Amino acid sequence: KWPKGVTIKEVGPRDGLQNEKTFISTEDKITWINQLSESGLKHIEITSFVNPKWIPALSDATAVVTGITKVPGVTYTALVPNLYGLERAFQANIDEVAVFMSASETHNLKNINKSIDQTFPVLRDLVRETISAGKISRGYVSTVFGCPYEGHVDIDSVIRVSDRLFEMGIAELSLGDTIGVANPKQVQEVLEVLLKRFPADKLAMHFHDTRGSALANILISLEMGITIFDSSLGGLGGCPYAPGASGNVATDDLLYMLHGMGIHTGVDQNKLLHASQFIQEKIGRTLPSKSFQAASSG
């Protein structure tokens, strides 16, 4: 019933830090990412090349990408919204480019200042240029399970955006529960539809844990054959253009559950414990991850 192994895509340095009030210094970001690189994680999204006025927390993207010690076998990803961002990402020699848009019109507009239809040609150029540069292109679709502005999001909108992103040539699509509103029944219903169109190994799940249902949603996704999950160390994170959004499912909690179930991830929980402690100190507040807090006090 359960897979032997799953792939964890750590998004803490990007999704985790983009919404933090405390500016984490470039040096501390680099130290933290280097710790993550040594933990057995094979995929780390380390920053974004967006407009620094929109996301000041990640305004040091170039210095971060060029400052880390890249570990062979680890893929380093950056979020990129347009060709200007791509140019910056290429100059820094990023391995993988993540493009993103929303299934709901209002969130797309608030987040990237364009309608859904205006976004398609931008992302098409981005994916084409990424692939022709010999790099990997990953896609995100946000607000799959609900929008902070529109509420319910129609599955047809999710299908339309997903179809277009795959047509462009993305290697994998991450389905975002941007504001953490999904429940397992809804996840099942959405995946039943999407898995008829796309293979399970091309889909990743990106759950924010705003209402505490992320692990339950991951469990049902696992049952349905999904084996790629995005998570953020300590449970840091949230989208500044999605009111009420809080952190991603904590990598620490996800690992505790998966390893307890005998599902292999290749990640060393002990090494990550130090990385969680490090970033908790720098952020200056208690991290949301329950298993991290239990491990720290126990």
Residues assigned a catalytic role: 239
Nearest approach, Cβ of residue 112 and ligand HMG (Å): 4
**8 A C-beta contact, residue 41 and residue 49:** no
Distinct helix (H) and strand (E) counts, the chain:
11, 8
Q: How far is the CB of 179 from ligand HMG (least distance, A)?
A: 8
Q: 174 or 293: whose CB is closer to ligand HMG?
A: 174
55, interface contact from ligand HMG, Mg ion, none, CB < 5-8 Å by kind: ligand HMG
User: In terms of CB distance, is 142 or 269 closer to ligand HMG?
Assistant: 142
Q: Where are the extended beta strands (E) located within the chain?
A: 7-10, 43-48, 75-79, 96-102, 136-142, 172-177, 203-207, 228-231
Closest CA to 228 of 10, 33, 12: 10
> CB-wise, 15 or 253, nearer to Mg ion?
15
Q: How far is CA 57 from its chain centroid? A: 16
| Contacted entry of ligand HMG, Mg ion, none for residue 100, CB cut-off 5 to 8 Å set by kind | ligand HMG
CB 44 within 8 A of CB 296: no
From 9-17, 45-53, 97-105, 188-196, give the range in contact with Mg ion by CB under 5 A.
Answer: 9-17
Task: Name the residue among 275, 235, 279 with its Cα closest to residue 22.
Answer: 279
Nearer to ligand HMG, 248 or 276 (CB): 248
Question: Which of the choices ligand HMG, Mg ion, none does residue 81 contact, using the CB cut-off of 5 to 8 A by kind?
Answer: ligand HMG
The least distance separating ligand HMG from the CB of residue 55, rounded to whole angstroms, comes to 5
Can you tell me which residue has the tokens 């005998």? Answer: 262
As measured in angstroms, the least distance from the Cβ of 239 to Mg ion is 6
For residue 137, which of 195, 90, 84, 190 has the smallest C-alpha distance?
90
Binding site for ligand HMG (CB under 6 A): 15, 18, 48-52, 54-55, 79, 81-82, 84-85, 88, 100, 111-113, 140, 142, 176, 178, 206, 208, 239, 241
Structure tokens that stand for 253 in this block: 């909690």
CA distance 161 to 103: 6
Q: Which residue is nearest to Mg ion (CB)?
A: 15
Find residue 5's DSSP bridge partners.
264
CB of 232 within 8 A of CB of 36?
A: no
293 binds, among ligand HMG, Mg ion, none (CB under 5 to 8 A by kind): none
Nearer to ligand HMG, 61 or 255 (CB): 61
Closest residue to ligand HMG: CB criterion: 176
Q: Which stretch binds Mg ion (CB under 5 A): 7-15, 65-73, 88-96, 266-274?
A: 7-15
Which of the listed partners (Mg ion, ligand HMG, none) does 153 bind, with a CB threshold of 5 to 8 Å by partner kind?
none
CA–CA dist 70, 17 (Å, integer):
20
* Contact call for residue 15 and Mg ion (CB under 5 A): yes
> Is 216 exposed, middle or buried (CB count within 10 Å of its CB: 0-12, 13-18, 19+)?
middle
Q: Is 209 in the site for Mg ion (CB under 5 A)?
A: no
Closest separation in Å from C-beta 81 to ligand HMG: 4
Helix H or strand E segment including 8 = strand 7-10
Shortest CB 10 distance to ligand HMG, Å = 13
Which residues bind to Mg ion, rule: CB under 5 A? 15
